[in-house]
Structure 1
């Protein structure tokens, strides 16, 4: 194990129920061409993820500083990452997942991009998707434009984010604002970074992103749920997620008293957009149709939400069962 005291980059390799993929994910982290601090952290998996990781790294003597740990109880992604941000020592954090495969140049490309762009606080990359067996699916999948700031989120018309599995951050994104609130770590970290500066999505694929039916995105949107309740679950989960994001960014704004008025106004609009989306979904779930009108009207006043809000206005005329809900 390296005795070098300082590393620019901390790789945070988070895992949950990853017994079948953790060895490959660790090997991909160890293959990075820049020496790093690598923390492999299991979120109290019920399977053998932690034991397998420990055995695989026993006796490691390469260029990286490597440690393996386990959460005392299952924390969820946001709380898990908050623990690791507090432990990590690097100037930059590179997030890896226990079911994905980082390309060997990922850390080097990330470090070069940060050092060339001092106003960039978060970056990701396009990704190549693979299936559970590692077979290629879609290539060059992009989740964000090549560069973006707060204004992008106001006009985007969707609640966009860098893909969490491809995220890398300056440590200030955590130190300025503290632990993450709620479960939407990728949205929260991307927006926090935009509050501090701007973000990038690199043009080269730096990870093989595994399409996992047990992943957070699949759970959140009930993609593999065939029950009649799947649409309700999706709406309920997204309502909670959007409110969590709004709460986190609102709290982050309170910690930035020197933020310029134009940037503060943009950030406040982003918070408002998330709250409108949460209120609209909540109203559609259970409330009388007349209570849909408030969120629809507020959405029509936001250019990025006008199309969605117009679609919801049409839904006022349709039975709930037509879009997967009862009542």
Structure 2
């Protein structure tokens, strides 16, 4: 029989964590499921470790290991995983996180209790530091309070996609994510609210690792600051474009466009600022985007004009956050 639920583990350059992540997936209780281990062409041993654990597994679940022939990035990797998954409910998991043993069983019970109406199910998370120590609970919003796209337009909930499950039918209805989309959880929530709705299980079911590969490799130089700003801007522009495209497909483009106008305008201004070839071009972009608050435009203009200073400020802010976190423990 084809498993009705897929637990998908998406990984990239996570050799240090992938063994524990896969073991937590294999330890799931309840009905037999498909466990799909997917590597985005990691240059380290992530894929080989996945294969080794799958080969040695003799439990009730069906384990499939796949690898992209080239690195695709978050959005395109997500698309390939959903296409490869056979379950009707897809539970997402990152390669540096851990799923509690009853995670899938609890999510499945909630889905069944809704007569499989829900299109997205979330849960709280256990906050785990980079070294694997639990440091608290991350509580997300109760998504049952968002009953429609109109509710989303009035106030967007706090969510963490590392603890999300969604239905295959939602993906089939709206299609694949755009190639630059990296915030798939934000897209899936909007899509779910256009369909069967969403809910949150008020228990932590995922141990969610802080930092990760990108944050641990962070360098606060002027070049890295600008590169980081470019990446962030590209993914946020892509997210807003995906929201608008999905809303357009269900006749709600005007509602979503009005809800995101301020933040989308900021991202379009940043896009123009980053594309400008010189100081004169950046100043022209700053003057042209009058729909964005002047003070905000001037701060971003100054940051790009003095990236080394901006990078040092960011480094001090990060150090302060790390110190406060250490004192909290």
Structure 2-normalised TM-score? Answer: 0.79
Q: 2:258: which partner in 1?
A: 269
Higher helix share: 2
Match of 1:227 among 221, 228, 238: 221
Q: 2:318: which partner in 1?
A: none
Match of 1:29 among 25, 29, 35: 25
Q: CA deviation at 1:18?
A: 1.4
3-state SS in 2 of match to 1:188:
helix
Partners of 2:268 and 2:6 in 1: how far apart? 38
Q: 1:307: which partner in 2?
A: none
3-state SS in 2 of match to 1:205:
strand
Partners of 1:316 and 1:271 in 2: how far apart? 18
Q: 1:249: which partner in 2?
A: 243
Partners of 1:287 and 1:270 in 2: how far apart? 28
Matches within 5 A, 1:150-169: 150-156=149-155, 162-169=159-166
Pair 319,77 (structure 1): closer, same or farther in 2 beyond 3 Å: closer
Q: CA deviation at 1:234?
A: 4.2
Q: 2:134: which partner in 1?
A: 136
Partners of 2:298 and 2:262 in 1: how far apart? 24
Q: Is the 8 A contact 1:50 1:70 kept in 2?
A: yes
Is 1:314 the counterpart of 2:295 in the alignment?
yes
Matches within 5 A, 1:100-119: 100-117=97-114, 118-119=116-117
Q: CA deviation at 1:320?
A: 4.1
3-state SS in 1 of match to 2:119:
strand
Match of 2:290 among 287, 290, 293: 293
Is 1:240 the counterpart of 2:238 in the alignment?
no
Partners of 2:246 and 2:283 in 1: how far apart? 31
Q: Is the 8 A contact 1:32 1:107 kept in 2?
A: yes
Q: Is the 8 A contact 1:180 1:248 kept in 2?
A: yes
Count of equivalent residues = 292
Match of 1:125 among 120, 123, 126: 123
3-state SS in 2 of match to 1:90:
coil
Q: Is the 8 A contact 1:140 1:205 kept in 2?
A: yes
Pair 114,268 (structure 1): closer, same or farther in 2 beyond 3 Å: farther
| C-alpha RMSD of matched pairs (Å) | 2.6
3-state SS in 1 of match to 2:138:
coil
Q: CA deviation at 1:238?
A: 3.0
Unaligned runs of 5+ in 1: 297-311
Q: CA deviation at 1:17?
A: 0.9
Q: Which moved more, 1:144-153 or 1:11-20?
A: 144-153
Pair 197,269 (structure 1): closer, same or farther in 2 beyond 3 Å: farther
Partners of 1:124 and 1:279 in 2: how far apart? 31
Q: 1:205: which partner in 2?
A: 204
Q: 1:12: which partner in 2?
A: 8
Unaligned runs of 5+ in 2: 275-281, 307-329
Partners of 1:64 and 1:245 in 2: how far apart? 34
Q: CA deviation at 1:100?
A: 0.3
Partners of 1:236 and 1:133 in 2: how far apart? 29
Q: Is the 8 A contact 1:92 1:170 kept in 2?
A: yes
3-state SS in 2 of match to 1:186:
helix
Structure 1-normalised TM-score? Answer: 0.79
Q: 2:191: which partner in 1?
A: 192
3-state SS in 1 of match to 2:181:
coil
